[in-house]
Amino acid sequence: MGTSQSTSVAAPRLLRENTGLCSSSEPLNQRCGLSGVTLGRRPLEPPFDPSVPRLRDPFWALWKLRPLKKARGSSSSLATLRRRLLLRRRRSSKCPDHARYMRELLSGCSLAEVSALCEQYEALAALKDLSVQADLARPPASAKKHDLAALFETRVAADVELVYAGACFPAHRAILAARCPYFRQVLGRFPGHGARIGLELRTPGVDAALFGALLKLLYTGELAPHQHDRPLLGRLADEFGGAPNPLEQDLRYLLETGDFADAMLVFTKGNGSSSSSSSSGHSEYGFSSLGTLERPCHKAVLAARSPFFKNLVQRRNRGEELQPERAGLNLATRIVLDESVIPQRFSSVLLHAVYLDEVNLALVCRPLEGGPTSLEDAMELYQIGRFLELDILSQGCEDLILEMLTPNNLATVLAWGARPYGSAWVYRQAVNYLRDEFQPFSQSPVLLQLSAEHLREALSSDFLQVSSQTARSCKHLNIKHYLSMRFFEL
């Protein structure tokens, strides 16, 4: 009788267990519907009841004790939404999962094939480095030291002749006077263009070769690599008034003071006419009331740094030699530069590049409001350097343009570099910049500012840092934008 009551109660409890309504405070055998079963051994089964499921093994009861899944509620919905957002964020990430791509690519490859692929990638990386170095290559601009050494060897624009130990040394007054107190005193006693001066030194043992080496030291700041007697050189330094200053220091002195100037750069406006300083009314900054700017300079330095000025100075010297009334006079040669070719606001930048090998855009005279940007000034100065054949100015402007390169002005720099008067070197660097940073460019409005030719050149490169799918989509987007612009123009 007791057994039938226990089995009759087991069915509704099993029903509650299957529906998840069983209380966890009930005994374990009652939760499983095993009122007559003791876990851990197999007792006699209770009498058969069709309404109660048969339990073949007590381990089935343990399986029934597994944690039931919670009903789908607000927490599961939030978890699902969080997973979807995470997957969407991963798919829209700017950085693709390269590791997953490589695993899928190499899943069916052998070790030999993987090794060959690594060697190919290493070869491509080396080829890319070689391509970048080739794009960076350009002829080096000659420094002031080398240009002045060539000036001493060629004797171009020489205005004085020094005679020592039977040898004649054509030289330049401005350089000798600025570099050596001894020559400053000697040249002061013999004024006039083309003076021939004989020299005698108190220091014994100085031959013509050593004297020529000392003159070259004044031009370059370096003594020729010969074995000279150091005590002799010390005695010569005492006679010459001490060792010379660094070359850059004396050239800066010539630029800032204008001492020993034998030429005048005249920056004019309009028709290119200029007036003398006595009638032009110069202001404190050198500007005249008629819009003329005159900057004192030295023919030797101009001729050494620029082939344009070199040819101009040689023609002027030949013309002055044909005028007997100008013989023996130290008259400054006036070199007139038109405003339309070389604007006045670039005068300080130009002279600093000639004398000091530096390009400083802070020296540009800018209006208080408006006016061209620093990038536009650098582009214009580059063209001036090309016109004057002043490589140090041109390459300095190229370096400044590259430093100012940003995604916002990339399209402008590419368009300028591709023109005949632009810089091919800057164009190559801008294209490399576009290839290396193409991934962020592909998701910015800058892509629509690029011309079809520039985009085609970037996409055709083997070193484009972007996936093929992104490259195709960018190409289609640019084509659609170009067609829409053409449609509005029509």
394, 378 contact by CB (below 8 A): no
pLDDT of residue 99: 75
232, 207 contact by CB (below 8 A): no
DSSP 8-state assignment for residue 287 = B
Considering 371-375, 434-438, 473-477, the range whose residues carry the highest mean pLDDT is 371-375
User: Tens of pLDDT along 208-250?
Assistant: 988 998 899 999 988 766 655 677 778 888 888 888 899 999 9
* Rg of the chain on CA atoms, in Å: 44
Element (H, E) at 122: helix 111-136
% of residues, the chain, pLDDT over 70 = 67
SS3 state of residue 295: strand
Cα–Cα distance, 357 to 449 (Å, whole number)? 36
User: Tens of pLDDT along 390-430?
Assistant: 999 999 999 999 999 998 999 999 999 999 999 999 999 99
Cα–Cα distance, 21 to 361 (Å, whole number)? 84
> Which single residue is written with the structure tokens 């000025």?
309
Cα–Cα distance, 454 to 480 (Å, whole number)? 16
Band of pLDDT at residue 462, cut at 50, 70 and 90 = confident
Beta strand 333-337 pairing with 263-267: parallel
Question: How many C-beta atoms lie closer than 10 Å to residue 12's C-beta?
Answer: 11
Comparing 88 with 294, the larger pLDDT belongs to 294
**pTM for the full model?**
0.69
Mean pLDDT of 52-71: 48
User: Tens of pLDDT along 73-116?
Assistant: 445 555 666 666 665 555 544 455 667 777 887 888 888 888 88
pLDDT of residue 238: 86
pLDDT at 134 over 80: yes
SS3 state of residue 2: helix
Q: At what angle do helices 230-240 and 181-189 cross, to 10 degrees?
A: 50
User: Tens of pLDDT along 263-292?
Assistant: 999 998 754 444 433 333 333 333 333 478
Comparing 47 with 396, the larger pLDDT belongs to 396
pLDDT at 24 over 80: no
β-partners of residue 167 are 164
pLDDT of residue 488: 40
pLDDT at 301 over 70: yes
Q: What's the mean per-residue pLDDT of the chain? A: 76
Q: How many CA atoms lie within 13 A of 142 on its CB side?
A: 16
Structure tokens at 311: 């040819």
